[in-house]
Amino acid sequence: MKTVLYSVILVILLSLLHEHYFLNSWKVHVTYPECIPLRKRNLPLLVVVPFTKKDWYYIEKNLRLYSSYSPCSTNFDGTVDILFWFHRNWTEWDRNRTALKVLFESEQLKSCFRSVLVGSANLKPNEDLYYYSFLKLSHYSPGTCNMFYPLFKKNFIRNGYDYLFIMEPDVSPIRSLWLEAVHNETKGKVFYQKGSIAQYAKRITTQHDYHINGNALYRIGDPCFDRILETAQKTYKDAPFDGALHALRMNKRYHAWMRYYSHLFIYSDFILNFGDNTFSEQHILDKWPNTFLVHGKGRLNTSS
């Protein structure tokens, strides 16, 4: 009996020691925020469509969908540009300018976007990887990271826009006026990231399952968010950028720092992330009245 009592007392003492000594010792090394988020500059929105050679099929499919799910109405007064961001060299890939013709002649794009832009990330093969490590039980995606982080350092983006919206080719509309809905999400208070939590069929088992999916809105030209992006990239090199941003927010090393900015990372349902899971369009229309876009390749039906 005494042994049990002594064990309980020891556990309590160790717990108190950990809470009042080790945690306080850790707090000494916490990085506190040194900058205040900037106000919006009332600049346009940039939609970025990052894609690889294999993704062109989805882009053409979406362009056809836009005929049934129009991005905007005739009286849309928002200013939005769209950038098709190719992983390698666009000129070498589209030698016959077939893709350029498809994009520049799209009536839906011309009627809803101020400008249709194209760009090349010019990634080398060793920079353009995406794989799962069974050794570390984690996804690694230097390819997507090398397409995402540099966007925030491009002068024409930093100086020309308040927000960018990452819209991968497997993001498709389920309601018309989806571009207006995305544009409306940028109004009001400043935020750093706004998007969907995972809507997977599996149970939530790790902190990663709470991350905001990469297909989201992001703040542009804010030094505070720039620092967050740089820290995430440095701390979680080659990890998927959306997971890296979430892991940074959950990292005790930056807890006090991220608490200051936590309200600027917003879960929303204007877009839903179903990943590789199948989803019923009608089910989403019935259950999510505020959803206009879905990320996922498992679309079961199209009501058009």
pLDDT along the chain (304 residues), means of 10: 64 56 45 76 96 96 96 95 98 97 97 98 92 69 94 97 98 97 96 93 68 97 95 92 94 84 95 89 94 90 57
- Between CA 111 and CA 132 the distance in angstroms is 40
The DSSP code for 198 is B
For 177, the token pair is 């006026």
Neighbours of 198 (CB within 10 A): 19
First to last CA, the chain: 73
Contact 177, 70 (CB under 8 A): yes
Contact 46, 167 (CB under 8 A): no
For 167, the token pair is 């819209």
Contacts of 186 (CB under 8 A, 6+ apart): 45, 162, 163, 217
Question: What is the SS3 assignment for 112?
Answer: helix
- Among 127, 98, 134, 100, which residue's Cα sits nearest to residue 116? 100
- Between CA 131 and CA 147 the distance in angstroms is 16
State residue 37's pLDDT score.
87
Contacts of 202 (CB under 8 A, 6+ apart): none
Question: pTM, whole model, 2 decimals?
Answer: 0.87
Domains and CATH numbers, the chain: 44-299 (3.90.550.10)
For 118, the token pair is 């194209």
State residue 85's pLDDT score.
98
pLDDT tens digits, 18-68 = 544 444 444 444 555 678 888 889 999 999 999 999 999 999 999 999 999
Query: Within 13 Å and on the Cβ side, how many CA atoms surround 29?
Result: 7
Parallel/antiparallel/unpaired status of strands 131-133 and 193-195? unpaired
